[in-house]
Amino acid sequence: MNELTNFDQTAEARDIAYHMHAYTNAVRHAEVGPMIIEGGEGIYVEDNEGRRYIEGMAGLWSVGVGFNDQRLIKAATDQLQKLPFYHNFGHKSHAPAIDLAEQLIAIAPVPMSKVFYTNSGSEANDTVLKMIWYRSNAMGKPEKKKVISRMRGYHGVTIASASLTGLPNNHKSFDLPIDRVLHTMAPHFWKDGNPGETEEEFATRCANELEAMIQREGPETVAAFWAEPVMGAGGVVVPPKTYYEKIQAVLEKHDILFVADEVICGFGRTGNMFGSETMGIRPDVIVMSKQITSSYIPFSAIMMNDRVYGPIAEESNRIGTFGHGFTAGGHPLGAAVALANLAVIQDNDLVANARDVGAHLLGRLHGLADSPLVGEVRGIGLIAAVELVEDKATKSVSTAGKLGGLMNNAMMRNGLISRNMYDAVAFCPPLIITRAQADDLFEIVAKSLGELEAELGVA
């Protein structure tokens, strides 16, 4: 039995004893224990010691409508009373899944054909990769199986989706990435632009690198390209304006599908219903999760166009079935909550609010640019990041993640939950945040930055 020391059977002690955490240093966790959140209201959460925080990350980029929306709670309760579970295997269906599929197709940024349900963004991306391989076989192109994603991109943690992810710690010791998954450069001009290079020239270089990779691998072997419209876990990277125009020209030249991972960007985050609209993307597949239910219920969905769906449908007829699915895919509870979530977003014009308050918050964050520790402020809509550096001229730090970790801790002490990706601290608050609340968030950021400057002696 695990020894419980220093915590005297508290919730913290029991967490250490029995609970293995995601994205956590397990040994370190046993030393410091958890932060336990017990309640939430609007943009705020409260821990088990009564301290209240602005949830500056909307949980995990996901709680769009805030932490206690009564319409979502009622939708879940009503659905539990009516039909707590059913599946969609073997021609079975139910009203919430049908209604949601119809609504998603109606609001899609480009014409789409069908919706397929999964349980998480990871499962959705994993499923899309299987679908693409299935489709290539259906089209008599068994060699067209390679896919390209981007360094610093994030697409999940299952074996296939973690392979698509372009972050080293998602690969180390997991024997990843798997074969047939390739990675091209991230579109971060501030970090990766060459001296004297314009954003336009940088975007061209990104497209040229993709073209060279495709030519090197053989265009007939490459099936799809994966991208978040705006990178999230990779540090909130907003590509240059012409980036996607140039990338899509390469894909169209070689008959390569575009998979838009909208898990973070979808449902208003970038100031449009989908990030694809914001960034001028014409995807063949859209992956959705997180904000589709404001994460009240685990749920995800895939939209695909006829170009993707048609060969898959024909192959399922040849074989006799599409041999893939999840017990809880299209769960009636999740679908009902998603429908309520969409209604709240639309009825309260939260997409416009993301544009307005996001621009206000980003403008205030840009006011931090004179700090000796701030290398770049970036964002779009209601998602932003402040990149910290020790040397502004070289955009460098001596120990990756040190500044970001210190800043993250300072903000938490001051009442703001954020998340640092190495030395970029991110802000992705619920879509319901007001300008006044955004000002409160900013004041905590500014105060914490000042404390960090004083601690490091650079004020």
Q: What is the pLDDT of residues 372-411, one digit of tens each?
A: 999 999 999 999 999 999 999 999 999 999 999 999 999 9
Contacts of 314 (CB under 8 A, 6+ apart): 138
> Domain 71-347 is in which class?
alpha beta
Assigned token pair, 312: 């898959």
**Closest Cα partner for 311 from 416, 223, 414?**
223
What is the distance between the alpha carbons of residues 145 and 180, in angstroms, rounded to a whole number?
7
Residue ranges of the chain with per-residue pLDDT less than 70: 1-8
Across 205-292, the runs of DSSP E, i.e. the strands, are: 222-227, 257-261, 285-288
Structure token pair of residue 232: 């999230």
Q: Which CATH architecture has domain 35-65+349-456?
A: Alpha-Beta Complex (3.90)
β 181-184/37-41 pair status: unpaired
Beta strands 383-388 and 374-380: pairing type?
antiparallel
User: What pLDDT, on a 0 to 100 scale, did the predictor assign at position 55?
Assistant: 98
Q: Can you tell me whether residue 226 is helix, strand or coil?
A: strand
Q: Where are the beta strands (DSSP E) in 15-132?
A: 37-41, 44-47, 52-55, 114-118
Predicted model pTM: 0.96
DSSP H/E element including 312: helix 306-319
Residue 4 has a pLDDT of 47
**CA distances from residue 243 to 118, 181, 211 in whole angstroms, order as listed:** 30, 22, 13
3-state SS assignment for residue 184: strand
CB-based contacts of 393-399 (< 8 A; 24+ apart in sequence):
395/190, 395/191, 397/423
Residue with tokens 């998340």: 419
Instruction: Give the CB-side neighbour count of residue 7, counting CA atoms within 13 A.
Output: 17
Longest Cα–Cα distance in the chain: 70
Same fold? 35-65+349-456, 71-347:
no
Domain borders along the chain are 35-65+349-456, 71-347
DSSP state of 220: G
- pLDDT for position 8: 63
Query: What digits encode the pLDDT tens for the residues 334-386?
Result: 999 999 999 999 999 999 999 999 999 999 999 999 999 999 999 999 999 99
DSSP class of 108: -
- Could you tell me the end-to-end alpha-carbon distance of the chain, in angstroms, rounded to an integer? 49
In 322-355, which positions are buried (b, 16+ CB within 10 angstroms) versus exposed (e)?
eeebbebbbbbbbbbbbbbbbebbeeeebbebbb
